[in-house]
Amino acid sequence: MPGGRRIAAVTDAHFDVTAGECLALVGESGCGKSVLASALLGLLPANAQATGRASLGDLDLVSADERTLARTVRGRLIGLIPQSPAAHLTPVRTVRAQLAETISALTGVRGRAAVRAATESAAVRAAFPLGHLDRHPHQLSGGLAQRAATALALVGDTPLLLADEPTTGLDRDLVEHTVDELRRHVDGGSGRALLMITHDLAAAERVADRVAVMYAGRIVELADADAFFGATGPRHPYSRGLLRALPDRDFVPIPGMPPELGDLPDGCAFAPRCERVTNACAALPPITGTVACHHPHVPEGIRARPEEDIRA
């Protein structure tokens, strides 16, 4: 709340992630994706407030106290691959020591040889080189720190894995290895789920079952991944702009810049950048079905409502 102002970083975030599913949450920097992740784990700054309900089984994560979050949720019910892994690794301990401690705490593996074997197996799973296990975090590149954080997050095989930009600093081969390993976390009838926050739409296409698109703190579209990335395409103009900006598509950037969360317009936040804008966009669009837009794109063969019957 800079200067005493209250800023809504995330609003209208309605979605679910079911067992065996990967939901990719995408959007430009500053739209609120990481704030949402922090809210789920009770990691918001002290001056921040979260309201609503986020259910994990019978537990409401939003109202849970710190003791419950620390002893029951973090690492046991929800694993986290953080956006800034170096800041989450203990600086005075080697990667091996941190992995071994996590393995002992979460899996019950005991004995020096067994823990060592499990530690090296966890490193291989995240493509972390065994020759670097005895290094401290400050001795790692950004990509290696990312892989160390991924190895730590995967140890507990948690019911929900929350991966916040898990491919940052990785080359394309390692991106594919990482997202494939994340996909294996939810496959095979394990009952586990993955919420992946990412800028990397190619990674999202490779791993996701559904895609949620966030703009200016609001989820504006929720779509099946095959339709979103396929011939049907997304319905919200912002979502379509994200895809068009990819190098292997039109490579055309979305004009303009996202608004400041503390200075949002009264109506549709995307309207100043949208090629489909009309007077109706001066009002906040309702969430209709799976898209929050006055003038969403309509797949061919489906008749539009009168207010949707416009062309880009």
Domain range summary for the chain, segments of one domain joined by +:
11-44+52-232
Record the pTM.
0.91
Q: Quote the pLDDT of residue 311.
A: 29
What gap in Å lies between CA 192 and CA 77, rounded to an integer? 10
CA-based torsion, 167, 273, 215, 288: positive or negative: negative
Q: Which residues of the chain have pLDDT under 50?
A: 1-2, 304-312
Read off the tokens for 4. Answer: 């005493």
Amino acid at 22: C
Q: Quote the pLDDT of residue 300.
A: 67
CA distances to 52, 75, 185, 261 from 166, in Å: 27, 16, 14, 25
CB count in 10 Å sphere of residue 107:
15
Phi, psi of 2 (to 5 degrees): -60, 135
CATH value of 11-44+52-232 in 3.30.479.30, 2.60.40.10, 3.40.50.300, 3.40.190.10: 3.40.50.300
Query: 56 exposed, middle or buried (CB, 10 Å; 0-12, 13-18, 19+)?
Result: middle
Q: Cβ contacts of residue 178 below 8 Å, gap of 6+?
A: 126, 127, 147, 150, 166, 167, 170
Angle, to 10 degrees, between the axis of helix 95-107 and the axis of helix 112-125?
110
SS3 194: strand
